[in-house]
A and B are shown apart, each in its own frame.
Chain A
Amino acid sequence: MSKVFEFVKTLLVENMQIDESKINMDANIIEDLGADSLDIMDIVNDIEKEFNVTIPQDQYENLRTVGDVVNFVEDKLGK
């Protein structure tokens, strides 16, 4: 799995105590993993810092699954 996925997974496990086995590219962050809007902003904050990218606020609603987040960041990184 990609470095971005591993980082997002670590955030979800460490910050939110989400069971690692539930985390895959298709998992909906709010509905499947029990996050709320504050968690999403917190995760975005950490991702932006780690990968030196900016995720504009108007993109948040498109980031529903773990895969949405990973793909968005990887696109930004030009992979």
Chain B
Amino acid sequence: MKRVVITGQGVLSPIGNNIDDYYKNLINGVSGVDYITKFDASSMKVKIAGEIKDFKPEDVLTRREIRRSDIVTQYAMVTADEAIKGSELDLENEDSDRIGVIVATGIGGANTWEQQHQVLLNESGDRVSPFFVPMMIINSVSAYVSIKFGLKGPNFSIVSACASSGHAIADAYNQIILDNADVMICGGSEAAITKLCFSGFIALQALSTRNDVPQKASRPFDADRDGFIMAEGAGMLVLESYEHAKKRGANILAEIIGYGYNGDAYHITAPVETGDGAAKCMELAVKRSKKKMEDVQYINAHGTSTKLNDQMETKAIKTAFNDHADNLLISSTKSMTGHLLGATSAIEAIATILAIKNGIVPPTINQEKKDPECDLNYVPNEAIKKDIDFALSNSFGFGGHNVCLAFSKFNG
């Protein structure tokens, strides 16, 4: 069977607009959560989020590309650019039919939807932009990445709420295993901090209302957690067959050796409380990786900072790992980034790969008060130096979509 390696990464996150800044802030425990600037949230119950700061699409995109794409697509193109540059792929001399794109988003072009709906209400249907549909449809993220870079391999988008980009990465891995492509650009993007989307999440009572200290609001597994922090950004990976990477002398960051995915078949927003779905999903990922549960050293948790998720995920880890659960390092980097919804799995895959590559496990910040129901080692507040050979990254989406990605050190 083919082996699949990671040779490039790109990120836009509330704690950094490139891999170096993202990594530095991850291991230093820096929060990217702050007051919302994108719209006037002063009268809203929640006033905080993880926004992208100082985004300069013109560094990578032409004015025409910017005008014709939603910001969610711009995030995708900009991170794809960083990932491709980092991989040192020479696109001019590659077989473009063998390079595919699977980029996910949970929500799609929400900004465009809302702007054009205003045009419809305030002006008329005749004034709706011809770019409205191509800008808001979810698959635009994959389409524009392929158009910008001329990539003609397998191309589609995946939607599974907060598991979306995990499914994108797992399915990109499949495309290479199935020999549909040699290289896949994959990941996710999200830009849904709009008044309407935000109001919807507030209505669900899913968000933290800790408005007084934004940097302390995302506190996964802590006893005083009260909801997640909505965030935005994108994460992109270059996956490549080992033969292809070796042939061109690529710098290999890590290897993806398996994944698990399944469904809870339980509820449209709540995870199944026993954690059985998530537990099974982690077991599937380890089994596909041809490893033992005891081989897992680190889990980048879904860890949203909601009451329900963090208890459920703790139970799931105990169910899946039994006694080995106590040996695991588990961190939720959402404590720093907030929850990037459809892009979250991709930026957390990157955090996991960076932990493997550098031998430093990022912390879960804001660990102040222990929750008796959450009693595993969440790497509280400080990063830990540890050589990691095998790690998992969990993501669970509204609707009971579970995905677990399995990464290992590249050992030649």
Contact = CB atoms under 8 A, between A and B. Distances in A.
A17 B129 CA distance: 19
11 contacts: A14-B63, A15-B64, A16-B63, A17-B64, A38-B131, A42-B129, A45-B127, A45-B129, A45-B130, A48-B127, A49-B127
Interface of A: 14-17, 38, 41-42, 45, 48-49
B64 A38 contact: no
A41 B130 contact: yes
Nearest to A44: B130
Interface string B96-134: 000000000000000000000000000000110111001
For chain A, what secondary structure do more than half of its interface residues adopt (helix, strand, loop), or is it mixed? helix
Interface of B: 62-64, 67-68, 126-127, 129-131, 134
Contacts of A48: 126-127
Nearest to A18: B64
A48 B128 CA distance: 12
Nearest to B128: A45
A15 B131 contact: no
Contacts of B130: 38, 41-42, 45
Nearest to B68: A38
A19 B126 CA distance: 30
Most buried by A among B68, B127, B130: B130
A41 B129 CA distance: 8
| Best-buried of B64, B127, B131, B134 by chain A (most CB within 10 Å) | B64
Contacts of A14: 63
The 8 closest A-B pairs by CB, nearest first: A41-B130, A17-B63, A16-B64, A38-B130, A17-B64, A15-B67, A42-B130, A17-B62
Given A15-B67, A16-B64, A38-B131, 7 more contacts: A14-B63, A15-B64, A16-B67, A17-B62, A38-B134, A41-B130, A42-B130
Contacts of A49: 127
Nearest to A43: B130
Nearest to B62: A17
A34 to B, nearest CB: 9
Contacts of B62: 17
A46 to B, nearest CB: 10
B232 to A, nearest CB: 26
